[in-house]
Chains A and B, each alone.
Chain A
Amino acid sequence: MATPRIGVFVCRCGLNIERTVDTQVVADALAEHPGVAHADVYDYMCSDPGQVKIKDAIVEHRLTGIVVAACSPSMHEPTFRRAAAEVGMNPYLVEMANIREHCSWVHDDRGDATEKAVRITRTMIEKVKGNHPLEDVQIDHVDKCLVIGGGIAGIQAALDVAEAGFEVLLVEKEPTLGGHMAQLSETFPTLDCSQCILTPKMVEASRHPNITVHTYSEVLDVSGYVGNYTVKIRKNPTYVDPEKCNLCGDCTEVCPESTKSEFERGLAERKAIYIPFQQAIPSSYTLDEKTCLGLHPLRCSECQKVCEPGAIDYDMVPEILEEEVAAIIVATGYDPYPILNLAEYGAGDVPDVIDGLQFERLLSASGPTGGEVRRPSDGRVPKKVVFVQCAGSRDPENHNSYCSKICCMYTAKHALLYRHAVHDGEATVFYIDVRAGGKGYEEFIQNATEEERIRYLRGKVARIFREGEQVKVWGVDTISGKRVDLDADLVVLATSMDPHPTTEAITKTLKISCGGEGFLKEAHPKLRPVESLTAGVFVAGAGQGPKDIPESVAQASGAAAKAIALLAQEKLTHSPEVVSIDEEVCGGCGVCVGMCPYGALSLNGAGVAECNEVLCESCGTCVSACPTGAAQLKNLTDDQVREMIEVALANV
């Protein structure tokens, strides 16, 4: 290789670097480093004049590679690579030395920081000296998108992608689309009927020519890579042909077996053959195998006998579908924090202690009480209702540490709707503080507290228990410092939002990560909120973190936009800094093949390892395992690492 002519550009970043790093000293020291042909200092290398300086120097000094000593490569690596490419330098001959985040910002001694900046930059000079010009790996892709989760976020994402002209597979594990939004009575702060705004979207998704809906289905396995994922979906048998079912409901009437209705959150029973709610999509009954007496004419078969259109088929079997998709949107949603975990609030023990979603069903016109607020134990209309906010939230010792964000608003809505339904009813809300950030939210709370005479007590509830027909609530008013003992007919716990129980399994299947609380992790908390760290996998809705309906919809559209941007590209590109195998050196032991988590390595006909550049994600774990050194990461070879170590440690 020709003698390297490396350019070094040290950024002052205003005073961000200059304050603790003497950039001129750094540049002067590095100008002496072997292979460096040019070293310069500037206030803001990322500015236009800064980039021009770099571009001019590349041309004038015929540089073979450059190092920009500035901020973290996660900030400006693309900026400088693009600038260099504009004057004909291969972008992979551009590296950044992070002397801001890893040096000037974390040290105060100017001498020490300057010395460390020299060492850091020297390592990158050595790296660039060993770098080779590379071209991005080009990948063909399919034109389909998978959306996992058929709640409001998944529906919105599916509709947006479908509207852009791409095919969508919408997979939902329940027998109907809709998610938790279908269970809500009315939505804050406008009090629109939840089903009235949701069901048109459900219908639209099911009728859209570009969307294929798979309900009662699960994603079993995902393999492949961005642009070309292979997904395996299991369609569980509903034992009812949706094409033939005419929703007459005769099957339900004769079915002898029942269980607690999931949709009504246990407040009502449903039969073994059932439809979750009238507007369910697909509009067809589902036979729940676990509750059914047995799928055999000899066991029962009452439903089959009465089904006039002959829609019931006991011989249905699970169907495994295999599909190719380019992008995946994960919208697995949430579940309320299990009420049984809240033993201090009598949950599970006192029937008239319910969670917020159960109260939604009591308020809903389609609910088990037909929209009349009646308590579960004896069906009486409760005259005194206590609402407990932060039930399971903001309690790091016992429950979830985080704020579930929507509970302040839905509690205010519950109390307000309760007061609308029971005019002489008393509503008391225990709160830590009221968080009502959102358009029209604060006004909604103001209205609830002032116009609707809802009593807000700032404090915590210590214990809830049953005494006779009453529910006793013991708590403390933290403003007056006094103990509060209340008698209530009904207690509604504003339970925390948990990631849906299936989240963990799906993240393993997709090889994406969860945060500490179990929610789907976004690629960057501020700047990449809808992407996962796996290329082509996007996140949306409450599965990513507690959020309300408008935020879920917005994030879903954001995720859809990202997926569309990917689908619309003619070809996808992939980093070329992948593994290469030196066939002369490889002994064909195959250790690397087992190491690769992506199946990118295999032994070829000649008995040596071979790397599929499209599959390789550049982790380099095979490089560490290779006993001969035949496997090397392009532009970060063992030789380069050795040179980098040497200059990091050499005297300054």
Chain B
Amino acid sequence: MSDKNGSFEPRIVAFLCRWCSYAGADLAGVSRMQYPPNVIPMRVNCSGRVDAGAVMKALEKGADAVLIGGCHPGDCHYVSGNYKTRRRIILLKRALSEVGIDPRRVHLEWISASEGGKFQKTITSYVDLIRSLGPSPVGLAKGQDSGSEETEKVAVGVADAE
């Protein structure tokens, strides 16, 4: 998260699978499609490589949200990695709700190598969404700066964990 000119600018980490979403992001670049700079992309071979630990780590280290990009169902370069991710993310979202983190802070999107436009739209709308959700309660809770209900609930969790 970063505040610039007083307004909240979310900081988002994106795990992009090499064959579809990362290539889709490349295509968005080649096509000079503009989108907000809030997302730091990281390349993984398959969305199936993205484990809950990495997502939680990102949230813990101050990410306001985590985006995961994979191949469309049926198109996974590694046959079925994206299906496994889908299941894992559903579970993870449930766990996030339990600890009081808005599950929308983790998002899985299918973006193919030919969908530069979809990549652009996804980033743009997701940054807007997270901007409207406000800073991650994890970061705020660590700073003991209680504010929203989301933050208070997480503050208890963070205190317990530490």
A 599-652 contacts with B by CB, 8 A: 617-621, 623-625, 633, 636, 638, 641-642, 644-646, 648-651
Q: Determine whether the beta carbon of A106 is less than 8 Å from that of B49.
A: no
Q: Which of A73, A112, A511 contacts B43 (CB 8 A)?
A: A73
The answer to whether the Cβ of A113 comes within 8 Å of any Cβ in the partner chain is yes
The answer to whether the Cβ of A217 comes within 8 Å of any Cβ in the partner chain is no
Evaluate whether A621 and B84 lie within 8 angstroms (CB atoms) in the complex, with A102-B26, A641-B54 already known: yes
Q: How far is the CA of A633 from the CA of B84 in the complex (A)?
A: 17
Q: Determine whether the beta carbon of A105 is less than 8 Å from that of B23.
A: no
Question: Which chain A residues border B52 with CB–CB below 8 Å?
Answer: 624
Q: How far is the CA of A108 from the CA of B35 in the complex (A)?
A: 9
Q: Determine whether the beta carbon of B37 is less than 8 Å from that of A109.
A: yes
The answer to whether the Cβ of B11 comes within 8 Å of any Cβ in the partner chain is yes
Q: Specify the chain B residue showing the minimal Cβ separation from A623.
A: B49
Q: Specify the chain A residue showing the minimal Cβ separation from B82.
A: A621
Q: Determine whether the beta carbon of B37 is less than 8 Å from that of A620.
A: no
Q: Determine whether the beta carbon of B77 is less than 8 Å from that of A533.
A: yes
The answer to whether the Cβ of B141 comes within 8 Å of any Cβ in the partner chain is no
Q: Determine whether the beta carbon of A112 is less than 8 Å from that of B37.
A: yes
Q: Specify the chain B residue showing the minimal Cβ separation from A651.
A: B2
Q: Which residues of A contact B (CB under 8 A)?
A: 72-74, 98, 100-103, 105-109, 112-113, 115-116, 119-120, 123, 511, 513, 515, 525, 533, 595, 597, 617-621, 623-625, 633, 636, 638, 641-642, 644-646, 648-651
Nearest-CB distance from B15 to chain A (Å)? 9
Q: Determine whether the beta carbon of B23 is less than 8 Å from that of A649.
A: no
Nearest-CB distance from B33 to chain A (Å)? 6
B 10-60 contacts with A by CB, 8 A: 11, 13, 19, 23, 25-26, 28-30, 32-37, 40-46, 48-54, 57-58
Nearest-CB distance from A592 to chain B (Å)? 12
Q: Determine whether the beta carbon of A649 is less than 8 Å from that of B61.
A: yes
Q: Determine whether the beta carbon of B75 is less than 8 Å from that of A123.
A: no
Question: Which chain B residues border A100 with CB–CB below 8 Å?
Answer: 29
Q: Determine whether the beta carbon of B58 is less than 8 Å from that of A649.
A: yes
Q: Which of B23, B45, B58, B88 contacts A645 (CB 8 A)?
A: B58
Interface centre among A98, A108, A109, A621 (most CB of B within 10 A): A621
A-B pairs, 4 with minimum CB distance: A101-B29, A620-B49, A621-B48, A619-B78
Question: Which chain B residues border A650 with CB–CB below 8 Å?
Answer: 61
Question: Which chain B residues border A618 with CB–CB below 8 Å?
Answer: 45
Q: Specify the chain B residue showing the minimal Cβ separation from A533.
A: B77
What is the interface of chain A mostly: helix, strand, loop, or mixed?
helix
Nearest-CB distance from A328 to chain B (Å)? 16
Q: Determine whether the beta carbon of A645 is less than 8 Å from that of B54.
A: yes
Evaluate whether A101 and B42 lie within 8 angstroms (CB atoms) in the complex, with A625-B84, A636-B49 already known: no
1/0 per residue B78-96: CB within 8 Å of A? 1111001000100000000
Q: List 13 A-B contacts (CB under 8 A).
A: A101-B28, A123-B40, A617-B78, A619-B46, A619-B81, A623-B51, A624-B52, A636-B45, A641-B54, A642-B57, A644-B42, A646-B57, A648-B40
Q: Specify the chain B residue showing the minimal Cβ separation from A622.
A: B48
Q: Determine whether the beta carbon of A105 is less than 8 Å from that of B54.
A: no
Question: Which chain B residues border A525 with CB–CB below 8 Å?
Answer: 114
Q: Determine whether the beta carbon of B25 is less than 8 Å from that of A101.
A: yes
Q: How far is the CA of A619 from the CA of B48 in the complex (A)?
A: 7
The answer to whether the Cβ of B62 comes within 8 Å of any Cβ in the partner chain is yes
Question: Which chain B residues border A115 with CB–CB below 8 Å?
Answer: 37
Nearest-CB distance from A461 to chain B (Å)? 32
B 91-145 contacts with A by CB, 8 A: 114, 120
The answer to whether the Cβ of B63 comes within 8 Å of any Cβ in the partner chain is yes
Q: Determine whether the beta carbon of A624 is less than 8 Å from that of B50.
A: yes
Q: How far is the CA of A636 from the CA of B18 in the complex (A)?
A: 13
Q: How far is the CA of A644 from the CA of B2 in the complex (A)?
A: 18
Q: Which of A617, A625, A641, A649 contacts B11 (CB 8 A)?
A: A649
Q: Determine whether the beta carbon of B78 is less than 8 Å from that of A597.
A: yes
Nearest-CB distance from B89 to chain A (Å)? 11
Q: Specify the chain B residue showing the minimal Cβ separation from A595.
A: B84
Q: Determine whether the beta carbon of A116 is less than 8 Å from that of B51.
A: no
Q: Which of A107, A620, A636 contacts B48 (CB 8 A)?
A: A620
Q: How far is the CA of A636 from the CA of B15 in the complex (A)?
A: 13
Q: How far is the CA of A116 from the CA of B41 in the complex (A)?
A: 10
Interface centre among B37, B41, B74 (most CB of A within 10 A): B37
Nearest-CB distance from B99 to chain A (Å)? 19
Add 11 more A-B contacts to A103-B37, A638-B54, A641-B54 (CB < 8 A): A101-B25, A106-B28, A107-B37, A619-B49, A621-B48, A621-B78, A624-B50, A624-B51, A624-B84, A636-B44, A649-B58
Nearest-CB distance from B63 to chain A (Å)? 6
1/0 per residue B1-14: CB within 8 Å of A? 01000000001010
Nearest-CB distance from B92 to chain A (Å)? 11
Nearest-CB distance from A647 to chain B (Å)? 9
Q: How far is the CA of A78 from the CA of B37 in the complex (A)?
A: 28
Q: How far is the CA of A64 from the CA of B53 in the complex (A)?
A: 29
Nearest-CB distance from A419 to chain B (Å)? 42
Q: How far is the CA of A624 from the CA of B79 in the complex (A)?
A: 16
Question: Which chain A residues border B54 with CB–CB below 8 Å?
Answer: 638, 641-642, 645
Question: Which chain B residues border A112 with CB–CB below 8 Å?
Answer: 37
Q: How far is the CA of A638 from the CA of B55 in the complex (A)?
A: 11
Question: Which chain A residues border B57 with CB–CB below 8 Å?
Answer: 641-642, 645-646
Question: Which chain B residues border A511 with CB–CB below 8 Å?
Answer: 79
Q: Determine whether the beta carbon of A105 is less than 8 Å from that of B48.
A: no
Question: Which chain B residues border A116 with CB–CB below 8 Å?
Answer: 37, 40
Nearest-CB distance from B101 to chain A (Å)? 16
Question: Which chain B residues border A651 with CB–CB below 8 Å?
Answer: 2
Question: Which chain B residues border A108 with CB–CB below 8 Å?
Answer: 34
Q: Which of A513, A633, A648 contacts B49 (CB 8 A)?
A: A633
Nearest-CB distance from A221 to chain B (Å)? 14
